[in-house]
């Protein structure tokens, strides 16, 4: 019974956190941009999340007559399922982890790769040129930056000697990996932003160019799945940054789970700050930056880390 209760509790907390993050982001963007955020519904606008949920539940669930209906319905489910599965391998504390197996990092990379099918199928099934353009952008962007993300974490694997996320955290007991792997950290953060197509890399959803990208034709709860899936992706990438480079649950004085949540919250706020402070590049600039700069840097970091490991042994 305990094995079933823990995942269900974590699932509910994650969904609640992703919904609350929509309010947090709007409040913080309002603060940083010197304007009001949500402040009408409830104290400090807290009930705005509830109002948005009621709107999504009660709004007409419309499927375009020209769409491929089966794929159109399945597509938003994929991103929700993939993001939630990704949290199954996150070690929140020494005692709290749903699944601990030797290839946890490979599982995360596989999950992030599979999520691209959601975007691709949504754009294809919508039978809309704007949705298709957004899906093509997203597919090329996500597949390209998955390469750099995978190469960046290989340095962490070399230093820890394991693909297990728990063992990676334990290997940082003396020194967090963001110090020797500062280049890999930068690459992983940039690739994570592109993977979750958050600003400034939100070109698949460029409102001024392609209306709303791959989810142009979506409404009601199917749109809500894409929306919540994006925020779950932000939390997941932040949790992975903490796990791989910042010692996971490790820290003095406070309980391990609290340390993990505090570190993850810092990177979630960093993602929000990027949206407030950075302009969106052109699509060709985004792709050129990845293949011309991030790929050579990731390979060089991998080469130097491997050479250092051999030299110390």
Q: What pLDDT does 205 receive?
A: 67
Q: State yes or no: pLDDT of 245 exceeds 90.
A: yes
With respect to residue 272, please indicate whether it lies within any of the assigned structural domains.
Answer: yes
With respect to residue 34, please indicate whether it lies within any of the assigned structural domains.
Answer: no
Q: What pLDDT does 209 receive?
A: 63
Question: Is residue 158 classed exposed, middle or buried when 0-12, 13-18 and 19+ CB atoms within 10 A define those classes?
Answer: middle
Q: What pLDDT does 289 receive?
A: 92
pLDDT digits (tens, 9 = 90+) for 7-28: 888 888 888 898 889 899 999 9
Q: What pLDDT does 206 receive?
A: 62
Q: What pLDDT does 303 receive?
A: 95
Q: What pLDDT does 210 receive?
A: 63
**pLDDT confidence bin for 40, thresholds 50/70/90:** confident
pLDDT digits (tens, 9 = 90+) for 268-289: 999 998 888 888 888 888 899 9
Q: What pLDDT does 216 receive?
A: 80
pLDDT digits (tens, 9 = 90+) for 69-108: 888 889 889 988 999 999 999 999 988 888 888 888 999 9
Q: What pLDDT does 283 receive?
A: 83
With respect to residue 291, please indicate whether it lies within any of the assigned structural domains.
Answer: yes
More confidently predicted of 183 and 133: 183
Q: State yes or no: pLDDT of 293 exceeds 60.
A: yes
Domain count for the chain, please give it.
1
Six-digit token string for 43: 């104290």
Q: State yes or no: pLDDT of 150 exceeds 90.
A: yes
Q: Which domain holds residue 186?
A: 64-312
More confidently predicted of 165 and 138: 165
With respect to residue 199, please indicate whether it lies within any of the assigned structural domains.
Answer: yes
Q: State yes or no: pLDDT of 236 exceeds 80.
A: yes
With respect to residue 12, please indicate whether it lies within any of the assigned structural domains.
Answer: no
pLDDT digits (tens, 9 = 90+) for 205-234: 666 566 667 778 888 888 888 888 889 999
**pLDDT confidence bin for 65, thresholds 50/70/90:** confident
With respect to residue 108, please indicate whether it lies within any of the assigned structural domains.
Answer: yes
pLDDT digits (tens, 9 = 90+) for 106-141: 999 999 888 888 888 888 888 888 888 888 888 888
**pLDDT confidence bin for 153, thresholds 50/70/90:** very high
With respect to residue 4, please indicate whether it lies within any of the assigned structural domains.
Answer: no
Please write down the HEC assignment for all residues of the chain. Answer: CHHHHHHHHHHHHHHHHHHHHHHHHHHHHHHHCCCCCCCCCCHHHCCHHHHHHHHHHHCCCCCCCCCCHHHHHHHHHHHHHHHHHHHHHCCCCCCCCCCCCCCHHHHHHHHHHHCHHHHHHHHHHHCCHHHHHHHHHHHHHHHHHHHHHHHHHHHHHHHHCCCCHHHHHHCCCCCCCCCCCHHHHHHHHHHHHHHCCCCCCCHHHCHHHHCCHHHCCCCHHHHHHHHHHHHHHHHHHHHHHHHHHCCCCCCCCCCHHHHHHHHHHHHHHHHHHHHHHCCCCCHHHHHHHHHHHHHHHHHHHHHHHHHHHHHHC
Mean pLDDT of 39-60: 85
């Amino acid at each position: 019974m305990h094995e079933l209760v823990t995942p269900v509790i974590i699932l509910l907390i994650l969904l609640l956190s992703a919904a609350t993050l929509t309010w947090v982001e709007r409040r913080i963007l309002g603060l940083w941009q010197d304007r009001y955020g949500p402040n009408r519904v409830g104290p400090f606008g807290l009930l705005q999340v509830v109002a948005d949920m009621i709107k999504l539940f009660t709004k007409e669930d419309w499927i375009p007559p020209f769409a491929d209906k089966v794929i159109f319905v399945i597509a938003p489910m994929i991103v929700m399922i993939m993001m939630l599965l990704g949290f199954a391998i996150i070690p929140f504390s020494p005692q709290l982890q749903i699944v601990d197996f030797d290839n946890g990092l490979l599982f995360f990379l596989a999950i992030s790769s599979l999520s691209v099918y959601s975007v691709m199928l949504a754009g294809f099934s919508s039978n809309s040129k704007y949705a298709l353009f957004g899906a093509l952008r997203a597919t090329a962007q996500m597949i390209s930056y998955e390469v750099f993300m995978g190469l960046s974490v290989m340095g962490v694997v070399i230093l820890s000697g394991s693909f297990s996320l728990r063992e990676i955290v334990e290997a940082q007991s003396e020194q967090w990996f963001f110090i020797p792997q500062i280049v890999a950290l930068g690459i992983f953060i940039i690739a994570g932003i592109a993977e979750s197509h958050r600003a400034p890399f939100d070109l698949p959803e460029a409102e001024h160019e392609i209306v709303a990208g791959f989810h142009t034709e979506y409404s009601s709860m199917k749109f809500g799945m894409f929306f919540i899936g994006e925020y779950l992706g932000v939390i997941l990438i932040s949790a992975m940054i903490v796990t791989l480079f910042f010692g996971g649950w490790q820290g003095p004085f406070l309980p391990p789970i609290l340390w993990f949540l505090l570190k993850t919250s810092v990177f979630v706020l960093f993602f929000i700050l990027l949206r407030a402070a950075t302009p969106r590049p052109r699509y060709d600039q985004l792709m050129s930056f990845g293949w011309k700069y991030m790929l050579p840097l990731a390979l060089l970091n991998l080469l130097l880390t491997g050479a250092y490991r051999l030299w110390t042994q």
